[in-house]
Amino acid sequence: LQRMLSIAVEVDKSPNCSSCKIADVIFPFILNIPLRSQREAFLNTMESQLLRCKLLELLFQHSCDMPTTLPLSLAKILYFLNHSSVLLQYQDETPTWQRWDEMLQYLSLLLMSYQNVILAFPLADHLRSSLIDRMDLIIQKAKPKLQDSDDISHVDIQLKIEDFISRMQQVLGQPFPLQIMEKLSILQ
């Protein structure tokens, strides 16, 4: 399934457009996966980083108290940190801190996938371009094209992390489990 999804993204002239369409179709099924381990297995095994970004973006938009119109960027990922609630409806008795832990896990996965799509490679928007256009980008040795909302400072990050910690203290009302603190420091 993952290979077929990856090929479906790649064969289109606009991988960005096809990944949006595929994510829109898959998203309702993600919401109905009952176990965290199954959701994580599905998302972690995705071959298409671009499709993973789109699915996680939809997941966070779905969980935001106030959805944003920002394009996917580092600023939007920070926005999700402070405006997302527990991502999915749970039918079991999962403790609240584990739900927040899952949210932080997916936020880290979104950040890594986004970096793979845009920032980590020397080709500008290489995964958003068709295979034919990628060859031209390789020949031209194109530089990454960052968006204005990718320009965030360490102070921005620190403030958003502090806001999140404050929000978590209100929700949990207890010392944070070590797993949450580890995920926050990795995300930071």
Q: What is the CA radius of gyration of the chain?
A: 17
Beta-bridge mates of residue 84: 64
> Residue 160: is its pLDDT beyond 90?
no
Q: Would you state the pLDDT for residue 123?
A: 42
Number of domains into which the chain is organized: 1
* Average of per-residue pLDDT across 165-184: 81
Q: Which of 17, 50, 14, 52 has the alpha carbon at shortest distance from 130?
A: 14
Cβ-in-10-Å burial (0-12, 13-18, 19+) of 131 comes to exposed
Q: What tokens appear for 182 in the block?
A: 């580890």
Which tens digits make up the pLDDT trace of 23-32? Answer: 999 999 998 8
Q: Decide which of 158 and 6 is more confident.
A: 158
Which tens digits make up the pLDDT trace of 101-139? Answer: 888 999 999 999 988 887 544 443 445 555 555 556 555
Helices (H), 36-177: 36-44, 49-63, 74-83, 96-114, 131-140, 154-172
Q: Would you state the pLDDT for residue 42?
A: 93
Residue range of the domain that includes 152: 1-187
Three-state DSSP at 65 gives coil
Q: Which of 8, 102, 13 has the alpha carbon at shortest distance from 47?
A: 8
User: Do 28 and 71 meet the contact criterion of CB atoms below 8 Å apart?
Assistant: no
